[in-house]
Structure formats: structure tokens, C-alpha cells
Amino acid sequence: MRVIGLAGWSGAGKTTLITRVIPVLIGRGQTVATVKHAHHEFDVDQPGKDSWLHRQAGASEVAVVSSRRWALIHELRGDPEPPLADILAKLAPVDLVIVEGFKRQAHPKLEVFRAATGKPLLYPDDDCIVAIATDAPLPQAPLPVLRLDDIEGIADMLQAEARPPDQIGPRPAGERS
């Protein structure tokens, strides 16, 4: 298993890019998993359904299983958010894990940048960004720059820059975030 992240401001196109690059990677014979970090309360369950009722009753974990898929919901109930390494350890073995979010974790990342968001580039403040995918020219960028529509090139970069889980983790104290 190797890990690579996508970082960028909301509206930059991270999710769209992931949905375009996954089929290319799978076409290359890769197995792919994703981890999405949410900055807000989210729910994969529906109020009133049995699994939702189990959680409301106080279950710390609820597994929902069918003949087509299964999901495990873990309630933190005030505990701290788990680090990325703990989440990666729960995944089934795959060739590549693409992480969307967890931008403060020390793992290699592709920055997804669109000038239209009006936000600054992230790479100057994140030494884990290894390349930038953008729809704008960035002639002064000290990193490789890929066009957002170069899905094959982006897939190449993701595969080349991904690292094993034991080579990523929280930044040591004092390092920039």
C-alpha cells in the first residue's frame, strides 16, 4: 500500500480530479482506495434507519452489511479525531490510497489549484506538496506543474510520488504545517 494526498481549497476540483483519475489507475491494474476528511459533522446513515437508531442508543460502532457492500460507522463520542495512520491501518490492502484532506499530516500531496477560487497557493507553506495540478500558468513554481486535464500525467505523478504508510504521519513538533 502506498499513500498520496490531494490538497487544495474548497472548489478547486479535488473530488472531480479523484473521480477522473481513479478509472485511469484501475485501467493500469491498480487497486485504489480513498480516504476523505470532512471538516464538518457528516452522516453516512439516515435518521430513523436501524443502524442510525443503534448509534443513537449509544453503540460506539455499527457495521451495516449487505450482499453488495458493508460500512463501519465509529462514533467518537468526544474522543479526538484519529490520525491518518490509524485510518489507513483499517483499510483492506490496495496498491494506492488517495487521501483528500488531512492536509496537516505529513504525506506527499498534489496541490489542486484554480485561480478562480481567489485563494493563495498552498505549496509555500506545505513542504509535503510534490506537484501542482492547475488550470493557470505558474511559471515561477519551484515544483512540477501539471494541467488539470492531463489525467494520465497526474496518474503518473500520483503513482511515482506515493509513499508507504510507515513513511508518513504527523509532523514532528516545530515543523511547518
Q: What is the pLDDT of residues 8-20, one digit of tens each?
A: 998 999 999 999 9
Give DSSP secondary structure letters for 158-176: HHHH-B-GGG-EEPPTTS-
135-163 residue pLDDT tens? 999 989 999 999 999 999 999 999 999 99
What is the pTM (predicted TM-score) of this model?
A: 0.87
pLDDT for position 91: 92
Name which CATH class applies to 2-40+81-170.
alpha beta
Q: Is the pLDDT score of 28 beyond 60?
A: yes
Backbone angles phi, psi at 155, to 5 degrees: -60, -40
* pLDDT tens-place string over residues 61-78: 888 888 898 888 888 888
Predicted confidence at residue 76, as pLDDT, reads 87
pLDDT of residue 130: 96
What pLDDT, in 10s, does the model give residues 33-57?
999 988 666 777 788 888 888 988 8
Domain ranges for the chain, please list them. 2-40+81-170
Share of the chain above pLDDT 70, in %: 93
Per-position DSSP letters for the chain, written without gaps between them: -EEEEEE--TTS-HHHHHHHHHHHHHHTT--EEEEE--SS---SS-TTSHHHHHHHTT-SEEEEE-SS-EEEEE--TTPPPPPHHHHHHHSPP-SEEEEES-TTEES-EEEEE-GGG-PPPSGGG-TTEEEEEESS--TT-SS-EEETT-HHHHHHHHHHH-B-GGG-EEPPTTS--
Look at residue 171 and tell me whether its pLDDT is greater than 80.
no
